[in-house]
Structure 1
Amino acid sequence: MSSALYRTHELAYRTQYAEIKERARATGLLLPGTPGRLKLKSVNGGSYWYRLFYPVPGKQEEKFVCTEADLEAYETMRLAIEDQDWMTKQISLLRKIGFQTADKVMARVLVELHNQHMLDAGLVLVGTLATMAWLNELGGMSTSAHTQDIDLASHILRLAAPASFLETVKATGLPFFPVPGLSPASPTCSVKLPGAQGLRVDVLTPGEELGQIVKLPALAWAAQTVPFYDYLLKDPEPACMLAGGHCVPVHIPQAARFVWHKLYASTQRRGTPEKATKDRIQALTIAALLASEDAHLLLDALNELPPRMREHIARIKGTLMQTASAHPELIDLLDAI
């Protein structure tokens, strides 16, 4: 029998995570980078408050807050720094006990997307970051997931974003550059940081064929099509992503739909068996957590699978059941494929 795919966090830590989420959702705009501190500076005969902080590791920044006489603005920023300092300490503790947390560079991007209302406009977090978010949401402990990609999916944008996608990622202060398309005339749908291991941000959207380019006027950007993303992105759910010292409100696919789509995606990998295995383990871990309490969600999502998706998943049924053998409730569901 295979070993269990997850362990469960203690109730006290799950409660702590829930409190962090509640406070993050009530915060509104998030302070980028470290909490920082307030510093009074004399400039041209006047006294002004600045916030000193690190937007990303190794880069200090000063940002104007208010004049010395503006006590209301000073107090607002002081409380914001105090709240962010509390948040950073709580997230550090959760990270040490096994909660999934993205790095500080990813945090800088996610915070900017949140502050620019890109995530409110309808962008959905998918890929490995969505796996990490669902593990935290469901209280599961598993092998830490690592990724150098932020995958954002768009189905229906509810409103136009106040800034273009490229303007938003450049506002992070990080040296993102657009990834060229297959031809000079092709719109780009990704940005990346320099270096082989540099963070990459991809924008994806539903389409019949993999890799077609679709323009998204609301973002002044383009997206790459992925088959059956219309199934994946139906009625996404609000959640939060722990990243650096931040808890960023996001939207992620329904857990059950995410499971079945990720299993399907694992069958479409060509020449990268290790990535297919990673997809299956991540999907089955979320599935095992769901099956222990909300198995009906998996069954309902299974019954709505497009036939071609179901056919591909059925071909790896034996492998899936072997991997999930420590979870009888999940085995029963997989047997229904």
Structure 2
Amino acid sequence: MSPFPLYEQHELAYCSQFANVAQAAATQDKVLMGAPGTVIEHKRGGAAYYARQYMGPEGRRQQENLGGPKGDPEVDARVEHVLQRIDLSKDLISRIRDLSKLGFQLADNKTYATVGVLYNYGLFEAGAVLVGSHAYAVILNSLGIKAISYETEDIDIARRHQLALTNIPKGGLLAMLKETGIHFVSVPSMKRGEPSTSFTEAGKSRFHVDLLVPSRDDTFSTVPVTELNAHATALPYLAYVLANAQTGTLISRHGAVPVRVPEPSRFAIHKLLVSRLRTNTLVKSQKDVRQASVLLAMLGEHRSGDIEDACAALPRSARVLVRRTLPEVEALMRDAHEAGFEELQTSLAS
């Protein structure tokens, strides 16, 4: 039995600081790739042309062409808009730096750029949901709690229904990802002849993006996602966690970007379920249970009824699997977090 608390609450003033960052981030029409940088001028003949010079997500200096010549009303208006984005980003970064010192969860720069480009194309507004450990970090921040963070090089993007999107580049999702400046390539499927459902940074990096959709039954399969010109892995019970998504804010040292994440209670229950669907990765299974337990502890003590509602919506076929996690959850929560464990145990028994 663990007598140690799984989480700590941030002070109310710090939560207000985070809320202000989230509110400011939501005003962005687009987020900048990489660090904010600065606007510079290039001389060509007798005219001046603009570019944004910045540090990319991989730590290399890059330039974004803003056009010209200087003095063209349309070009100058575009540059002024970029300058406003730069100023907002710098202000957000200054405040995020303070939040980092207070224990708020920060994403790495590659993750920020990748999630940012999906935001720029309207995926989250259209219904796409960030899941996995990056969603867990977003949820911790939104709940105003701090806990052990988990480093991950996986970005999991899911969608429940077809996304109503416009202005998608010809190359679909892969073309979008390449706009980050990261050299993404498709990952060959483990099954011969099947299309890729994952994209990775070329080379030795393990940084990658997985596209997920709900399975129509209890099996795993590969299905087309036509609006993104891509394919996704269909997972059992994914519809359950996607059903009630909410807005959140992912923060990093390069800025802040609005996203959609699952509601905390369903995310926690789904984590327990996933821990029993993983048959060959004990470490990831243990991570799933601990992340779930952190959220269940907080919800049981501060949002009574959320766990009960999430369990009530759980498909009957999944209940047996979730019940099997109770000994592990009890070992983490008993003594320090009685309320959360009792609500979980009672809700699964009904």
* TM-score, normalised relative to structure 2: 0.91
The 3-state SS of whatever aligns with 1:81 is helix
1:218-271 Cα deviation digits (max 9, x unpaired): 111111011111111103111111133221111111211111111011112223
Aligned pair count reads 337
CA positional deviation for 1:146:
1.0
What is the aligned partner in structure 2 of residue 122 from structure 1? 127
1:100-157 Cα deviation digits (max 9, x unpaired): 1110011111111111112223211001111111000001111122101000111112
Q: Is the 8 A contact 1:117 1:162 kept in 2?
A: no
The 3-state SS of whatever aligns with 1:27 is coil
The 3-state SS of whatever aligns with 2:123 is coil
Q: Which amino acid aligns with 1:234?
A: A
What is the aligned partner in structure 2 of residue 334 from structure 1? 344
Q: Which of the residues 140, 162, 173 maps onto 2:145?
A: 140
CA positional deviation for 1:170:
1.6
Q: Which of the residues 178, 190, 194 maps onto 1:186?
A: 194
Cα gap change, 1:24 to 1:258, in 2 (>3 Å): same
1:80 maps onto 2:81 in alignment: no
Distance 2:81 2:162 in 1: 32
Distance 2:122 2:291 in 1: 29
Unaligned runs of 5+ in 1: none
Q: Which of the residues 276, 281, 300 maps onto 2:309?
A: 300
Q: Is the 8 A contact 1:51 1:62 kept in 2?
A: yes
Distance 2:247 2:330 in 1: 30
Distance 1:189 1:268 in 2: 19
What is the aligned partner in structure 1 of residue 287 from structure 2? 278
Q: Which amino acid aligns with 1:335?
A: Q
Root mean square deviation, CA, Å: 1.7
CA positional deviation for 1:73:
3.7
What is the aligned partner in structure 1 of residue 16 from structure 2? 15
Q: Is the 8 A contact 1:191 1:200 kept in 2?
A: yes
Unaligned runs of 5+ in 2: none
Q: Which of the residues 254, 259, 263 maps onto 2:263?
A: 254
Distance 1:54 1:72 in 2: 24
Q: Which amino acid aligns with 2:26?
A: R
Cα gap change, 1:199 to 1:210, in 2 (>3 Å): farther
Q: Is the 8 A contact 2:107 2:252 kept in 1?
A: yes
Alignment of 1:53-202 (within 5 A): 53-65=54-66, 66-69=68-71, 70=73, 71-163=76-168, 164-202=172-210
Once structures 1 and 2 are overlaid, which stretch shifts more, 141-150 or 92-101?
A: 92-101
Q: Which amino acid aligns with 2:189?
A: G
1:26 maps onto 2:27 in alignment: yes
Q: Is the 8 A contact 2:184 2:200 kept in 1?
A: yes
Alignment of 1:302-317 (within 5 A): 302-317=311-326
Cα gap change, 1:167 to 1:105, in 2 (>3 Å): same
Q: Is the 8 A contact 1:9 1:139 kept in 2?
A: yes
* TM-score, normalised relative to structure 1: 0.95
- Identity score, percent: 29
Q: Is the 8 A contact 1:203 1:223 kept in 2?
A: yes
Once structures 1 and 2 are overlaid, which stretch shifts more, 14-23 or 295-304?
A: 295-304
